[in-house]
């Protein structure tokens, strides 16, 4: 239980206190309730900022933070409906949206993934909390009634908008799994490939190997060279952490980086082909992704990773959505790069056997 998660839990603890303040009647009880609501609402921004700065973003926090926001707002809204301060349909709209997104998160969790709060989801939360604050204060201050009505309308709009945004952004969790895009890793029951497995796949093939690494920062090359004798097939690599290196050293077209983004299947494949051509090898392995803890200005989720292997006239690639902390995501990316490399090396050997038969 770190500080960011403790702040998130504090919103849950505050719920019964706020409900009691809204239901009892004594001078200033609404003002006190509004002040506490604002105070605990601010923890929603604070916990996320602290988690990112301290590098303590966790799966528990990603799951609990949006859940605490939902319960915090909905519980107060239900009391306000009972007091006749807001229409019941508003709560129905908000609750329906939250229920749908909760189901989406459950589906993602069943696939071993965690859906973190999206930027529009945070905007939705801010508008809802602003509306609730004004609804509380309209009872002691009737002049705020029209302002509260406008705030409620804005909250409803952003609630619906963010719901559609989540469904579109994470639609991969609610459509049939495309096995060419999502590969089951070690966590799904398959053993992790080892450097020795890479050596076995390449031994006697006459294939040389080069790597282009972004998210892994050299981990793939380090794993490959753990195997004694790897110099027989491993030539070297390029750590292309910046777009400049991707362009200048690997020949990734600037237009492709601009249109598809650095973390994309297209760029991953271009990196694999680029390092293969630059180092004149039979195989080129590339990986690009988002290790976190933040998405670094992109709307793509933390953990999204593309692995590609290029050979003569062929490029194979896979998309992953890894979970865990930064170290775990980078480790999984390196392991899956080895797995795809081994699969492709074996495919090429089999193709040669068939051709020579």
How many distinct structural domains can be found in the chain?
2
Structure tokens of 229?
């004798």
Q: Judge whether 180 lies within some domain.
A: no
CB contact at 8 A, 288 and 262: yes
Higher pLDDT, 26 or 183: 26
Q: What is the mean pLDDT of residues 344-353?
A: 83
Output the domain CATH number for residue 321.
3.90.950.20
Q: Identify the domain containing residue 71 by its residue range.
A: 3-173
Q: Are 164 and 214 found together in one domain?
A: no
What one-character-per-residue DSSP string does 17-38 give?
Answer: HHHHHHHS--TTHHHHHHHHHH
Q: What is the DSSP string of 225-249?
A: TTSTTGGGTEEEEEE--SHHHHHHH
Query: What angle (nearest 5°) sits at the alpha carbon of residue 70, between those of residues 66 and 74?
Result: 170
168 and 190 inside one domain: no
Residue 133 neighbours by CB distance under 10 Å: 20
pLDDT tens profile 107-139:
776 655 666 666 777 788 889 889 999 999 999
pLDDT band with cut points at 50, 70 and 90 for residue 178: very low
| pLDDT at position 168 | 81
* The pLDDT of residue 70: 80
For residue 162, give the CATH number of its domain: 1.20.120.1760
Q: Which helix (H) or strand (E) holds 67?
A: helix 59-82
Weakest mean pLDDT among 75-84, 314-323, 343-352: 343-352
Tell me the mean pLDDT in the region 159-180: 71
Strands 209-213 and 314-321 come out as unpaired
Shared domain for 324 and 225, answered yes or no, is yes
Q: How many C-beta atoms lie closer than 10 Å to residue 259's C-beta? A: 11
Considering the domain boundaries, does residue 315 fall inside one?
yes
151 and 198 fall within a common domain = no
More confident residue, 293 or 288: 288
Q: Average pLDDT, whole number, for the chain?
A: 85
- In this structure, are residues 130 and 172 in contact, taking their beta carbons and an 8 Å threshold? no
147-166 pLDDT, tens per residue?
A: 999 999 999 999 999 888 88
The residue among 272 and 326 whose pLDDT is bigger is 272
Q: What does the pLDDT read at residue 124? A: 85
Q: What pLDDT digit, counting tens, does each position of 238-278 carry?
A: 999 999 999 999 999 999 999 999 999 999 999 999 999 99
CA pair distance 120, 136, nearest whole angstrom: 24
Q: Is the pLDDT of residue 52 over 70?
A: no
Same domain, 37 and 162: yes
- Domain end among 125, 151, 173: 173
Which of 142, 173, 204 is the last residue in one of the domains?
173
188 falls in which pLDDT band (50, 70, 90)?
very low
Last residue of a domain, one of 139, 173, 207: 173
Phi, psi of 141, deg, nearest 5: -130, 85
209 and 343 share a domain? yes
Do residues 123 and 50 both lie within one domain? yes
186 or 4: whose pLDDT is higher?
Answer: 4
More confident residue, 287 or 191: 287
Residue 148 belongs to a domain: yes
For the ranges 44-48, 177-181, 248-252, the maximum mean pLDDT occurs at 248-252
Tell me phi and psi for residue 316, to 5 degrees.
-110, 140
* Rounded-to-integer distance, Cα 92 and Cα 78, Å: 10
Residues 206 and 126 both lie in one domain: no
Domain match, 201 and 150 both: no
Alpha-carbon span 353 to 179, nearest angstrom: 26
The answer to the question of residue 302 being in a domain is: yes
Question: Higher confidence at residue 48 or residue 23?
Answer: 23
Classify 1 as helix, strand or coil.
coil
Residues 134 and 260 in one domain: no
The percent of residues above 70 in pLDDT, for the chain, comes to 85
Do 31 and 114 lie in one domain? The reply is: yes
Average pLDDT over residues 31-50: 83
pLDDT-based confidence at 8, cuts 50/70/90?
Answer: confident
Percentage of the chain exceeding pLDDT 90: 53
Mean pLDDT of 70-89: 89
pLDDT at 307: 96
Task: Tell whether 93 and 164 lie within a shared domain.
Answer: yes
The SS3 of residue 306 is strand
């Amino acid at each position: 239980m770190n500080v960011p998660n403790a702040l998130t839990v504090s919103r849950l603890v505050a719920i019964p206190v706020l409900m009691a303040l809204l239901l009892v009647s004594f001078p200033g009880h609404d003002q006190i309730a509004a002040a506490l609501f604002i105070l605990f609402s601010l923890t929603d921004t604070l916990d996320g900022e602290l988690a990112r700065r301290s590098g303590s973003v966790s799966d528990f926090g990603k799951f609990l933070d949006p859940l605490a926001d939902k319960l915090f707002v909905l519980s107060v809204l239900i009391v306000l409906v009972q007091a006749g301060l807001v229409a019941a349909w508003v709560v129905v709209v908000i609750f329906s949206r939250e229920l749908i997104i909760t189901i989406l998160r459950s589906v993602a969790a069943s696939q071993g993934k965690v859906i973190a709060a999206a930027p529009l989801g945070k905007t939705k939360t801010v508008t809802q909390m602003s509306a609730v604050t004004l609804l509380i204060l309209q009872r002691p201050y009737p002049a705020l009634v029209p302002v509260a009505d406008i705030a409620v309308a804005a909250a409803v709009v952003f609630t619906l908008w963010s719901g559609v945004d989540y469904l579109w952004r994470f639609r991969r969790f609610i459509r049939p799994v495309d096995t060419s895009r999502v590969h089951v890793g070690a966590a799904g029951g398959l053993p992790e490939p080892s450097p020795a497995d890479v050596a076995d796949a390449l031994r006697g093939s006459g294939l040389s190997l080069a790597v282009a690494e972004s998210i892994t920062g050299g981990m793939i090359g380090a794993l490959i060279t753990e195997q004694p004798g790897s110099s027989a097939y491993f030539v070297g690599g390029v750590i292309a952490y910046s777009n400049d290196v991707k362009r200048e050293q690997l020949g990734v077209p600037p237009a492709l980086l601009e249109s598809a983004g650095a973390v994309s299947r297209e760029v991953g494949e271009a990196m694999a082909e680029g390092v293969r051509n630059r180092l004149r090898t039979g195989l080129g392995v590339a990986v690009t992704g988002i290790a976190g803890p933040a998405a670094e200005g992109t709307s793509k989720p933390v953990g999204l990773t593309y692995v590609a292997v290029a050979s003569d006239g062929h490029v194979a690639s896979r998309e992953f959505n890894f979970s865990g902390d930064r170290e775990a995501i980078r480790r999984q990316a390196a392991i899956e790069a080895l797995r795809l490399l081994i699969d492709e090396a074996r495919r090429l050997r089999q193709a040669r056997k068939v051709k020579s038969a």
